[in-house]
Amino acid sequence: MSADQTELAFDWSCRILSDNGCGFPAPGLHSFLFQPIFTVGGFEFNKVMLLALLTTLIIVSLFYAAFGRAKVIPGKLQMVGEAGYEFVRRSIVFETLGKKEGEKFVPVMVSMFFFIWIMNVWSVIPLAQFPVSSVIAYPIVLALLVYLIWVPLTFKRHGFVGGWKNITGYDNSLGPIKWLVSFIEFFSNLFVRPFTHAVRLFANMFAGHLMLVMFTVASWYLLNSYMIPAAGVSFVMTVVMILFELFVQAVQAYVFVLLACTYIQGALAEHH
């Protein structure tokens, strides 16, 4: 948390059974608000934007260092880069789209996977301590990027009429309910799908950050109230939550890219 957040979230004079009338400073929306680092005109550049920018720079720098001068016998950094690249390429893209169709989508999916993963990992990095994906604007932009890939691809592959049939699931064999099914599929594919794609990532990172903040603040609050055993339990829970979040952060990057590949696979599939 930033200094401003800490001041809002924790009053150091608060103690259990104290006479000053303050209770446990529970985390809330203030845990996701940051003062601007600088302002230019009406544009405010804050900590979340800085972390997103650093994420981009880290990805570009690491992959350039790993593959900028690739060798037949790779060094350690190249081996790590190749392992990450091949994991996304084979375990996600090829498994979903196949090698022939999937190869052209590997660069964007690899970039998206590591961008999301590193944005999430900031949550457990000292001084940063904030997952960029818990600000819904970032998952929305990523979901829209996927949307702008698979929707045009659907019409490019199947034509105008075939594209709408693919999106709506229109099928004469369904009889009288074909229009109801088509409406449901239309609404689900074009509106619900990108919404859930973004919210799934956002909600997991938002909830995880709240839990980390709660146990961290609780540790200090209990320690400040001289309840050492309870503070110790809260601290252990903080460590457990950090380890759990490390797992969730990678899983959410995996799931987001897997769903993106699934949507593209649906756009390429023949309508029956």
Contact 122, 55 (CB under 8 A): yes
CB 119 within 8 A of CB 113: no
Yes or no: say if 13 and 25 are a contact pair by the CB < 8 Å rule. Answer: no
Q: What pLDDT does 42 receive?
A: 83
* Residue 25 phi, psi dihedral angles, 5° rounding: -80, 85
Mean pLDDT rounded to a whole number for the chain? 87
**Closest C-alpha to 119, from 239, 214, 209, 3:** 209
CA distance 139 to 142: 5
Question: What mean pLDDT is predicted for residues 29-40?
Answer: 86
Please choose, from the candidates 232, 250, 246, 241, the residue with its C-alpha nearest in 3D space to the C-alpha of residue 212: 241
Residue 76 has pLDDT above 90, yes or no: no
* Host domain of residue 40: 3-268
CA distance 225 to 231: 9
pLDDT at 271: 59
At residue 5 the predicted structure's pLDDT band, cuts being 50, 70 and 90, is: very low
pLDDT tens digits, one per residue of 10-20: 555 565 655 55
Residue with tokens 């900031």, as numbered in its chain: 122
* pTM across the whole model: 0.88
Structural domain count of the chain: 1
Q: Which has more pLDDT, 150 or 42? A: 150
Nearest-angstrom CA–CA distance, 56 and 76: 22
Confidence of residue 7 (pLDDT cuts 50, 70, 90): very low
- The pLDDT of 67-79, averaged and rounded, is 82
pLDDT in tens, 170-214: 888 878 888 998 999 999 999 999 999 999 999 999 999 999 988
Confidence category of residue 8, pLDDT binned at 50, 70, 90: very low
Share of the chain above pLDDT 90, in %: 61
CB 63 within 8 A of CB 225: no
- Identify the pLDDT of residue 21: 53
Q: pLDDT category, 3, cuts 50, 70, 90?
A: very low
